[in-house]
Structure 1
Amino acid sequence: MTIQMRAQWNGFEAGQVVSTLSGSEETRLIGLGLARSYTAGMDGYTPTFSAAEKIAGKGLVSAHGIAGGAGKRGVAQVGQSNERSGARNWAGPGSVATDVTFDGLGLADPIAPSVSALGSVIPHLHARLRNRGWSLQWRNCAVGGSSFIKQWAGQATQWAANAAFFGQRASLGTGDAGDYGDVIVDSGRVFRCKVGRPRYATNASGVAIPSGSGATNIDYIITPTATQVTGATKPAAFATAAVNDDIVDNTITWTCVATSVGSMAAFKVLRSGDFGFDPLGLLARTKTNLDAISGVSERWVFMANGQSDAQASLANQPTIRSWYKQAVESMVDYFVAQGYRVALGFTCFSPNYTVFADPTYPDQFATLQLAINDALTVTYAGNASVIAGGDLYDYWGRTPPTYPEPPATSIVGANAPHLLASAYPEYAQVWADALAASGKW
């Protein structure tokens, strides 16, 4: 039998007539909708997908990946809103609302567990890796607005007067891990914030978050307006607290979790085993979703982030390179310990974001890129489990194709943090090229 390709696959182009494959492989590709049986004289027909076939194909990409190829791999996407689905927030040209597909790929397909995602780079990257012969299953574990330092790895701090802290919080239900609460190191002891301000990151339970936002299904950081703060002076009980002692500190309550600091220290970026590591359960969530993929020979995590950590560190440029490197390494080491491999990339710059109005922001962002390079070229040099992923800052610099946010939002200016959906093919190609350069893809 001879077949004609209906889509790119494993080096063959759409429309190409192929007669070199085995009969069983031809049958498999026809069954997947990637090819059709071909006889002479059929060239006048365009070998493209029907509307129904596109829907079915997008479902395969979203839920399971395309079967076949040189190897089967599971991939978890980790990062912020651009890694999750930044274009979902924009209703103008180049958004998923106005441009549902590019190159026939469904940008509006949510990929679990990212319950509210309406657009993603994943279909584009999937297609490019599929064309290199890989069979992939995806889990989109990125969380909009998330910081690798504060919300993924976690960071201990110290007591401060009249200061806000996030408190311990139980799970709301399926998809929400709750919050460990902020951790401080003070008076030779380690304390956990038992009562403080609420913070949310993920929730697929349908339970309304008690924040006034009305959000029920989320995959972005929400910190509702709250008033809990410490007092003007540190409570004397800090110095004598025993384990499990509670200390009321104005509208904050602390619980002593250790009477010796051990490896803990104020401003330490936390690692697996530390009090408060993975405070919102984002790393554990990624592990749960990646482990649930069966029938794969390797599991990978694609990591990229940067905007929130630059935003959170405008006053800390002398130390942010070290902090960010430590956070990245904490996460990578956690994933590698699970038997995964990691591709470590970097997200795009955010021009004209009011929160980033500090003139040091561009240098802050570049400093984070240096921290990524430190990790790749020093810490993980020669480590077969860690490779360089795509670097969108290196590719687009300080003028990425982002879109203006609606005036009603707190994000204003000519351009804001989120890429246009029309930028996703380039984003995917940057990543595909980096993965190919590693020799492992």
Structure 2
Amino acid sequence: MTIGRGLKWPWILLAAVFIITAASIVSDKMKSRQGPPDPLPSEIKPWFGPRNQTEALAAADNGVNNARERLKQGPDEWLRLEMLGRALAARFRVSGDYADLAEADSFLAKGMAKSEPPAGPSLSRGAVAVLAHRLDEADEALKRFDSQKGEPTSDEQADGWAIKGDIAFQRGDMKRARLTYARAEEAESNASVALRQSMLELRYGDALLARRRVNAVLRAEKLTRSAKAQAALMRATIAYGTGEWNMAGEWARFADGFFPGNPLAMAYVAQQKALEGDVAGAVRQYEAIVAKAPLPEIMDALAFTLRLQGRGAESRAWAEKAGALWAGRYRLMPEAAAAHVVEHELALGDPAKALPIAKADARARPHGASLILLARAQLLTGDARGALATLERAEKTGWRTAGLYLALADVHTALGDTDAAEDAREDALDLNPKAMDPAARYIWFGHD
């Protein structure tokens, strides 16, 4: 017996060495995936450009006005049409005004018509078409761009691949999106590509890699305050997706202070107040934001927060105002507004109105977010089995978020499958331990 025990010791020792070595390898891989520690807000420095929202809007207005004057000198020249289209798209990104997006789309379409293929503003046209969620038009524009005889610059190549990645992502082809974003990064590594990659990885359920992508942007030296504030909000979005609410609040408040006056950053801070228990403060901040920037998405957040507080009359008043604005946007740019209109109707209006819009949006853009909205519309209008099929389709694309699994739990519950519902809830909690916290309902911006 003593000899037998003695013979076992080398094998036990070898097994222990193997376990320690394997653990070390796993630890090294985890550290590699995590990358360097998160940058401290005090370490983040701006480079150039507007210091706040007011200056950014003034610069955008100036760009549009100058482009309009140049167009007067040659109203049929496609380069001048492109300049105005790009200026309007840039202002849309600052203000969120759908009139700018519609006008940009119109001028770039005219520029394409006024130019002899393969010349023309094809890359700009593709970028705006993706913003407008008109994926077929974006495809056509990129085909024309790819057929040009001259060698595109590295930044043009990166933009082209990034737009192709956006198209693939919105069509639910996440694998292709990852590959094309990688091609964009090879052409020119920049903040725009990194933020796209971050969002993709977050929706894949890989928050570590998503965070690493954003951290690289936050550490970059030559970026504007606006770009870094956008990255900080993405960092907050990742934290919401993993239930790290305190961290989300830190990054939301950093973005608000680093680039003051931005309505979205202020809205993130408002919802953070609600998460922290200061719901009255959140309501006051939302009201202050919409007083200066009457944006329907912020009115929706305000209306929903009021509804959760049992303040029905006030909630309905804000929901009606938001609904009227969404209706106007939908008439102007239906594809761009569709998902927002669906979300508004599901949360604050009539699911029956949401259903046909959700179906059309999911046909055009069958990615996880659109499919989850469609499934919720199906469930709320009595089609639980249709909702289940829709969510299973979303999961097959590679979409992995707590929101998806909570939607699955609701559908399984409606179908009476309690075991499957419990499994789905566990999947949601694995990704986000606070997914089922009642306060999570206050997260309107940056939710999954």
TM bucket by the smaller chain?
under 0.3
TM-score by length of 1: 0.27
TM-score by length of 2: 0.27
Give the number of the structure with larger relative contact order, counting CA–CA contacts within 8 Å between residues 6 or more apart: 1
